[in-house]
């Protein structure tokens, strides 16, 4: 199965300058505003949901990759993570087998774990994606410093 396409900002392929600029322009056009993504959605009613949503969003703010279109994906990520944790707590409490049968929480855990990992992949939350975002932030800061070198105070 092929890997999903990454943002040109996160991609280290050798694009020509024209290709890179074209893709960046298209991505910026498709990316909506981010005003709603930093507010906790009303769909999240439990304190744990709100706290986890805020934690994820605040830690991704510096990357600049979130937009309003990501709100539902973030909600899905939060809920999958919390349901996965609840299933894991049930497994720890009741064990793998309950009265000679497999604990249903195991299947629930596996389902939500797959959903959580898929959401994380879409949100660039893998260690590789985070490392790439970090290196891009450093490169962007260096470019800003270079732009200011031509000016004297």
- Where exactly are the structural domains of the chain? 31-143
The phi and psi torsions of 74 (rounded to 5 degrees) equal -65, -40
The rounded distance, in Å, linking the Cα atoms of 122 and 126 is 9
Whether 21 and 9 have beta carbons less than 8 Å apart is answered as no
Q: What's the whole-number mean pLDDT along residues 89-96?
A: 93
Read off the pLDDT of residues 133-152 as tens digits, 9 standing for 90 and up.
Answer: 666 666 666 666 655 555 44
Q: Do residues 99 and 134 lie in contact, with contact meaning Cβ atoms separated by under 8 Å? A: no
Q: How confident is the model at residue 124 (pLDDT cuts 50, 70, 90)?
A: confident
Q: Is it the case that residue 31 has pLDDT exceeding 80?
A: no
- Counting Cα atoms < 13 Å in the Cβ hemisphere of 48 gives 9
Query: How much is the pLDDT for 143?
Result: 66
- What are the tens digits of pLDDT across the range 15-29? 788 887 877 777 776
Q: How far apart are CA 91 and CA 97, in angstroms?
A: 9
How confident is residue 7, by pLDDT bands cut at 50, 70 and 90?
A: low
């Amino acid at each position: 199965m092929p890997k999903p396409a990454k943002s040109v900002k996160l991609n280290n392929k050798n694009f020509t300058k024209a290709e890179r600029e074209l893709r960046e322009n298209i991505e910026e056009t498709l990316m909506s505003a981010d005003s709603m993504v930093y507010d906790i959605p009303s769909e999240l009613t439990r304190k744990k949901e709100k706290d986890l949503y805020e934690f994820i969003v605040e830690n991704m703010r510096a990357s600049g990759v979130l937009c309003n279109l990501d709100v539902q994906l973030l909600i899905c990520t939060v809920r999958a993570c919390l349901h996965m944790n609840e299933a894991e707590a049930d497994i720890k409490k009741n064990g793998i087998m309950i009265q000679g049968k497999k604990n249903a929480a195991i299947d629930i855990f596996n389902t939500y774990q797959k959903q959580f990992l898929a959401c994380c992949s879409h949100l660039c939350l893998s260690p590789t994606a985070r490392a790439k975002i970090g290196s891009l932030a450093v490169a962007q800061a260096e470019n800003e410093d270079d732009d200011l070198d031509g000016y004297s105070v």
